[in-house]
Amino acid sequence: MNRNYLNYILKFSFIVLFLILSYSIIWAASNNLLPFFNYSEVETSKEIIEATSSYPEATSSPETSTPPIIIDFSTYLINIKNKENYPAYQTTDFPYDNNSIFAFAKSEIINLKIVSMVPRMGYIFVTYDDNSISLLDNTGNVIFDKIPDGYTFAGVRDIENRPLFLFEDKYYYLDINNIFTLSEYDEGRNGRGIQFDYPSYYGESNSIIEKYKYGNFYGLRYIKSKAVYLSAYYKAIYSYSEGICSAIYSNYYGQDRLFFYNEKRQSVSKEYLPPLTNGIESLGYYYFDHGLTRIRTEENGVSKELLMYKDTTLFQLPPDFELVSYNNGVLILKKGNKYGYMKYTGEWLTDPVYKYAGPFIEGVAVVSQGSKYGLIDINGNTILPEVFDFISSCSGGVVIMHEEENGYYILNKMHPIPVEPNTSEESIQE
């Protein structure tokens, strides 16, 4: 037999055998006859694929959908009262205490044109996106839709404790008819040292003595007789607080030094240094508060902030902590990038856990541990939780907070009528 013919027969037989075998396997699989194949998994997978492909595209049944979580923001305002329920209370700038309340003046002011809303000494300044500024009273009622051109807020008070405005280098206050009226304010005689929106009682003069100016220097004299009490040797001098006054003296070399005098006009401390600046960051200088005042030393060009008792001994700060501020009997201390509050007694009011810790003003402070802000009282109790995008310092009995979805809230700090500031009695007599 021809060899080529034999090879052809073998190849043809092999092809036929392969086709028969393939057909047999396919037939067996279609009838679930292959023992090594898991048909249940295949069928289940097929059902899943078909079921999945049958779902409506990008839709869900309203009966089975999860409703959105809606937060009732009013739950965060549980400590805030309704003003109408407290007719025997009035808005004041006196320190918040156990008899005080915070009450709504205006709430949920949602106006997309408002850029900022800030309280200042009992007024509220509202800035709009066109840079115009309106002036409100402490309850949110409009005084001026637009503050008259040329008038700016000075952030100081005259001898009658009226907040002042500047116009062409002169000071004006708003009378009861909201008319700008010229004030006799003089920075040297009436200024209180630290530039911030201070309450009416901060650095207030007593009824016996006053500042006077002789040449370029200041001293103290009796109001009635004008007799000199402390001679005018000083670059600046400040009112008595807790029986002691402070004064800044420029020495022969033009270096400023801070001195303290008792009511017998005796110097009661060695010379210290005044603050490097006179903004709110220097709160605690010039006046005694709960028996302490802030002072500064410098050694080898390194400045150090301290607190001094009236007997001239120094308050012992905890190791590794830096004094940042002092007011209302509370220290702000810093370690690393964290802040905490300590009482004048040396007890911690709060642990140093805050990313931001504002000074206590009018008995309350703004705090933040993250990106939101809250408000605490002098005992460390929470008045407002840390859920607000902005909370102002208290000024003139007014606090303003803002939350993006809920707008602005205006709160009034209120005390029972009548109310008097907690100030010490002066023993100076003429």
Instruction: Give the C-alpha separation, 278 to 285, whole Å.
Output: 9
378 three-state secondary structure = coil
pLDDT tens string 268-320 = 988 899 999 999 999 999 999 999 999 999 998 899 999 999 999 999 999 99
Domains of the chain, by residue range, sit at 3-53
- The reported pLDDT for the residue numbered 42 is 33
- What the block records as the tokens of 11 is 């190849």
413 neighbors 91 (Cβ within 8 angstroms)? yes
The dihedral sign for the CA sequence 294, 298, 304, 309: negative
pTM: predicted TM-score of the whole model, two decimal places:
0.78
- Please compute the mean of the pLDDT values over residues 163-172 and round it to a whole number: 97
103 three-state secondary structure = strand
What are φ and ψ of residue 105, in 5° steps?
A: -100, -60
Instruction: Mention every residue, 6+ apart, whose C-beta is less than 8 A from residue 237.
Output: 211, 218, 219, 220, 230, 245, 246, 247, 248
Instruction: Give the C-alpha separation, 193 to 220, whole Å.
Output: 15
Instruction: Give the C-alpha separation, 10 to 13, whole Å.
Output: 5
Query: Which amino acid does the sequence have at 27?
Result: W
pLDDT tens string 372-423 = 999 999 999 999 999 999 999 999 999 999 988 888 899 999 999 876 666 5
- Please compute the mean of the pLDDT values over residues 189-208 and round it to a whole number: 91
Instruction: Mention every residue, 6+ apart, whose C-beta is less than 8 A from residue 38.
Output: none
Chain mean pLDDT for the chain: 84
Exposed, middle or buried, 84 (CB in 10 Å: 0-12/13-18/19+)?
exposed
- Please compute the mean of the pLDDT values over residues 83-112 and round it to a whole number: 86
- The reported pLDDT for the residue numbered 253 is 83
- What the block records as the tokens of 108 is 């949920």
Residue 269's Cβ-side half-sphere holds a number of Cα atoms within 13 Å equal to 26
219 neighbors 265 (Cβ within 8 angstroms)? no
- The reported pLDDT for the residue numbered 335 is 96
